Structure 1
């Protein structure tokens, strides 16, 4: 993918996202803390927002880290603010983060930033809640990043081979939406700018990351749309979770609604999206009770 193609996609996708969110307003019952730095380098890519139900300061709310999608080269927390605020209304302290994007910052910048976000969140969560439970959600490339984070956090043998700063705290559960997980064929065929810097042992580790997924991977809500061209990419993750006996809910949405395709759950007007988001939040709440 050339730089010109990247910029065209960024413009087109941003326009599509603006149309999707047209008419939405920030809810009055959610407290919003903007542009908090999770690294001390002054980069806007290293900022995050915190959302939680107004009046809930210090209450017993679980924490939810959202990692946005966008092919590792597009997206930011602003485009996910309505989605993140909606999740906060379910009774969560939501962390909505930026991370460094390709081609300006190729691998491992994005996954290294996810590790930083998790570390910052766990160090600062007592400022917002006394609840010890925390979860992660990601879509598309964000789902890949969340899954890779959980693999490296739960497998020391994998983690120690990676040539970037990692973190070893495992969330209580994850929601993985419309993602890519078996990277072997994708890397070979890919023109993704995020992946083009990979070579040697680090390329091998990236491609084979599912091989390192073990039974310490957190319980997962794995979602796909029947209308999504990436639907089949969910299968390797589902099979691996079943193989190692990680507790999992697998759900597909979109039958009879062709417009509900890739990452449809971000569309807060979509009935399938509403059902999916509610189901994922209920999944997290059930894990706190088990």
Structure 2
């Protein structure tokens, strides 16, 4: 297929920006890596994942599944290796996965792959940990995918209307970073993911928040005051409040304009490291409850 010029240009520009952000970083020596593991048997490169685990930490750490962002059309697990290794250092076995991207694969490819990743992770976690607690985290489009997964996993009525591979296991908690949650708000941001999606399926995606219920896991929801997508956090915050789901809402970046969208991926950022530690503490706190 012909990839739109705007997407090609964005992929190149964002890759350069991410490389600059991570310049000088190296993989920490105290984290072991298990790389290029297939979570589906079709041979697609997009159906692979990496696992990061702190060395000498035993086999009792909770599992944390990371879903990368990138507007549903950009990104891969390798771009998140430093961030995921950093989260591993904060006390998790971290699954860092790829999934099929738009427009080569439009909706529901990405969310179907998230369901597959969760299934694989839970079926194989004993290879990495004996801890039964598990969490999910995502940023931007990845936050939308995490929230959508939790809604469909917690709502049989929603799953019954979907015609793709789903899964019904809910995490103990989630970290939702700089996300988009109401898919009907802004087609400029969501159009690539839903390109050529049949109207009935697109409508279900746009209605996903209507199916959210109080089974949704406890959440750490964050954004940056410098993020143009900040208004997209409001629907999730309102829904959590209405349903009585425990959550923490945090805004970062005051006085630091460079800490904007997905600033937490920048391991040189003080706000980024502070946010990551706060989220780790929040998730670890759920284990103790």
- Structure-1-length-normalised TM-score: 0.97
Listed as ranges, the matches of 1:18-97 within 5 Å are: 18-57=19-58, 59-97=59-97
Listed as ranges, the matches of 1:69-218 within 5 Å are: 69-187=69-187, 189-190=188-189, 192-218=191-217
Instruction: Find the aligned partners of 2:185 and 2:112 in 1 and give their Cα distance.
Output: 23
Residue segments in structure 2 that go unaligned for 5+ positions in a row: none
Q: Give 1:56 shift.
A: 3.2
Instruction: Find the aligned partners of 1:141 and 1:155 in 2 and give their Cα distance.
Output: 21
Q: Give 1:78 shift.
A: 0.5
Instruction: Find the aligned partners of 1:139 and 1:289 in 2 and give their Cα distance.
Output: 25
Q: Give 1:149 shift.
A: 0.2
- Partners of 2:71 and 2:189 within 8 A in 1: no
Q: Give 1:200 shift.
A: 2.6
Deviates more, 1:151-160 or 1:193-202: 193-202
Q: Deviations for 1:104-136, whole angstroms, at most 9, x for unmatched residues?
A: 111100000000000000000001110000000
Instruction: Find the aligned partners of 1:194 and 1:230 in 2 and give their Cα distance.
Output: 17
Q: Give 1:4 shift.
A: 1.2
Matching residue of 1:285? 284
Matching residue of 2:248? 249
Matching residue of 2:271? 272
Residue segments in structure 1 that go unaligned for 5+ positions in a row: none
- Partners of 2:181 and 2:232 within 8 A in 1: yes
Note the aligned Cα RMSD (angstroms): 1.2
Q: Aligned pair in 2 of structure 1 residues 260, 190: CA closer, same or farther (>3 Å)?
A: closer
Instruction: Find the aligned partners of 2:28 and 2:263 in 1 and give their Cα distance.
Output: 21
Instruction: Find the aligned partners of 1:42 and 1:116 in 2 and give their Cα distance.
Output: 14
- Count, aligned residues: 288
Deviates more, 1:212-221 or 1:48-57: 48-57
Instruction: Find the aligned partners of 1:112 and 1:67 in 2 and give their Cα distance.
Output: 12
Instruction: Find the aligned partners of 2:280 and 2:88 in 1 and give their Cα distance.
Output: 10
- Structure-2-length-normalised TM-score: 0.98
Q: Aligned pair in 2 of structure 1 residues 74, 272: CA closer, same or farther (>3 Å)?
A: same
- Partners of 1:71 and 1:192 within 8 A in 2: no
Instruction: Find the aligned partners of 1:190 and 1:261 in 2 and give their Cα distance.
Output: 17
Instruction: Find the aligned partners of 1:162 and 1:111 in 2 and give their Cα distance.
Output: 11
Q: Give 1:3 shift.
A: 1.3
Instruction: Find the aligned partners of 2:53 and 2:5 in 1 and give their Cα distance.
Output: 39
Instruction: Find the aligned partners of 1:108 and 1:271 in 2 and give their Cα distance.
Output: 36
